[in-house]
A and B are shown apart, each in its own frame.
Chain A
Amino acid sequence: MAKSIDVSDLNIYYSDFLAVENVNMTIKARSVTALIGPSGCGKSTFLRTLNRMHEVIPGARVEGKVAVDGQSLYDSAVDPVEVRRMVGMVFQRPNPFPTMSIAENVLAGLRLNNKKLTKSEAADVVERSLQGANLWNEVKDRLGKPGMGLSGGQQQRLCIARAIAVEPQVLLMDEPCSALDPISTSAVEDLIHELKEQYTIVIVTHNMQQAARVSEDTAFFNLAGAGKPGRLIEMNPTKKIFSVPDEEATEAYISGRFG
């Protein structure tokens, strides 16, 4: 059920400012694609266009085409709410809902979308999602406790559980480990490895070792200078990017000789 994503001639704007220019790429189903590049080059902006979260910001808009398994996301007949049910997202900072318990956080996506669940179904979803996020063993005895009481790494895995509870087909991750310690990072990376059996994953990361560890393909974004739009410089299998990249700029960025 995982789906591939085709992006063609995508321009992303904030009001009149062109933030990302002319992106063309294909993201394979059931694999992990990493987006790397310097700050401000538009990785996160690009990621947010893949589930129409970009337009939540006032004045933000896109031109071009994003298609998930052939269905164009930016067609005028498409409801962004439906898109977001199909394409889940995990954010940079863990953001569990503060008014809800651990179990309610996991069920939030279903409950808020009016899905009627019996008690046993709900318990099933909670256990499956938390197992999926490698968190079950740590929280199974305190599912009724507030989600905010968990540690940062646990909160982030709770957010992943919340995202996979609605069974999306694509999972977007915006620097999911940047606020986590190495142990939690390792837990999340293990999780990514398991999740790619079922989901198409796109991950933005500043950590190149992480990109090398978890991803099959890597896309390198760069920008020519402050105020200039970001561009996709190169997209290739991760092994190739980190050994013999096609572009000089990629080589420079990866080896630390940036600029």
Chain B
Amino acid sequence: MTAVAPEPSLVVEHPLQRPRLPKLAPLIAAVIAAAAAVLLGLSLGWGVAPIVVTGGLIYLVGLSTWSRLVENARAATDRLVTSLVWTALVIALIPLISLLYTVISKGSSSINAKFLTWSMRNVLDGPGGIYHAIMGTLIITLGAAIISVPIGLLAAVYLVEYGQHSRLASWIRFLVDVMTGIPSIVAGLFAYALFSIIVGPGTQMGFGGSVALSILMIPIVVRSSEEMLKLVPTDLREASYALGVPKWKTILKVVIPTAMAGIITGVTLAIARVIGETAPLLIICGATDSVNLNPFSGQMASLPVFIYSSYQSPGANPEVLRQMAWGAALVLIIIVMALNILARVLGKVLSPKTGH
């Protein structure tokens, strides 16, 4: 026996170790792809967009081919799909970031104390303020929330706790879905017609805007609250019933608190959805340059309508009003963001505690 047999422990039938690309492989591939695309683009005289697209394609093909040569087919597929997912994320973020960048860069210069506290009343030349529009937007949206949240939440409670699979419940679900698709201008026309009948022809007031927006909000609140209430485990309802708690109290004290975080998120999303609506407010609230804090009488300004009219009919000082429109857009975005942050904080505070 001259040849020494390999030690049994070293004979591995299924090796776990395989060749791997270096950790920085995606980065290296990206740099090479970018360089190749830029060289190719410059030599052929392309614009930016074709260069980016070509670079992306070179990266995808190059990295997965490299991986297939060194690693194996599964790893190559993994790298390809990972890159595709990242590409999708970047594409989805580009408009958002570009929008934020544009609004902030163009709007931030016009924001100052006067901008936030003055109205446009009797402003003949030079910049005025958007206080009237901010207050209008807040009042109208608050009114819409006050109308839609109880109706939407109670409808969701009916759908989940009482209607369930009954015919009425499925009809309500269908109609709510139809309502989700109502064009906002139709909601505005509806409110305009409604108040023309109730109050008098041609009535324009802030509360009408609230009604129009609540038509857009209610279906979102119903659907999101319904989903949240459905997530509450049946176990909890049964535990409550078994303690001799009546059904209405079980819903009020057990089901809704358990779903509260999700309901608040849904309501915030609904508010964010309607706070930027222009068309219905243009019809039912009109536009004014003065502060009007009474939603039940007279025209009421709002940020979207202010932005629209500043662009549409800038009057004698087009440059100043365009500048103000950007500032108003920034304020609107800040309001929506503040609402979202508030909702997240409330959701954290109210969500079921796990004790960890």
A147 to B235, CA, bound (A): 15
Contacts of A146 in B (CB 8 A): 352-355
Interface residues of B in 135-157 (CB under 8 A from A): none
Contacts of A159 in B (CB 8 A): 239
* Residue from A95, A96, A109 in contact with B244 in the complex, judged by beta carbons closer than 8 Å: A109
Closest CB of chain A to B163's CB: distance in Å? 11
Contacts of B353 in A (CB 8 A): 98-99, 146, 148-149
The answer to whether A206 has its CB under 8 Å from any CB of chain B is no
Closest CB of chain B to A209's CB: distance in Å? 27
The answer to whether A77 has its CB under 8 Å from any CB of chain B is no
Q: Sort chain B's interface into a size bin.
A: 20 to 34
Closest CB of chain B to A87's CB: distance in Å? 8
Q: What is the predominant secondary structure among interface residues of chain A facing chain B?
A: mixed
A99 to B349, CA, bound (A): 11
Contacts of A14 in B (CB 8 A): none
A81 and B245 contacting across the interface, CB-CB below 8 Å: yes
A82 to B354, CA, bound (A): 32
B352 and A98 contacting across the interface, CB-CB below 8 Å: yes
B236 and A98 contacting across the interface, CB-CB below 8 Å: yes
Interface residues of B in 310-356 (CB under 8 A from A): 352-356
The answer to whether A88 has its CB under 8 Å from any CB of chain B is yes
Contacts of A58 in B (CB 8 A): 164-165
B244 and A82 contacting across the interface, CB-CB below 8 Å: yes
Closest CB of chain A to B334's CB: distance in Å? 32
A108 to B235, CA, bound (A): 15
A interface size (C-beta, 8 A): 33
The answer to whether A163 has its CB under 8 Å from any CB of chain B is yes
Interface residues of B in 208-260 (CB under 8 A from A): 233, 235-246, 249-250, 253-254, 257-258, 260
A91 to B242, CA, bound (A): 9
- Closest B residue by C-beta to A83: B244
A95 and B233 contacting across the interface, CB-CB below 8 Å: yes
Interface string of A51-62 (1 = CB under 8 A from B): 101001010000
* Residue from B233, B242, B243, B355 in contact with A149 in the complex, judged by beta carbons closer than 8 Å: B355
- Closest B residue by C-beta to A79: B246
A145 and B355 contacting across the interface, CB-CB below 8 Å: yes
Contacts of A85 in B (CB 8 A): 243-244
Supply 11 further A-B pairs (C-beta < 8 A) apart from A81-B245, A148-B354, A166-B244.
A58-B165, A84-B241, A85-B243, A95-B238, A96-B239, A98-B354, A112-B240, A112-B243, A112-B250, A113-B244, A149-B355
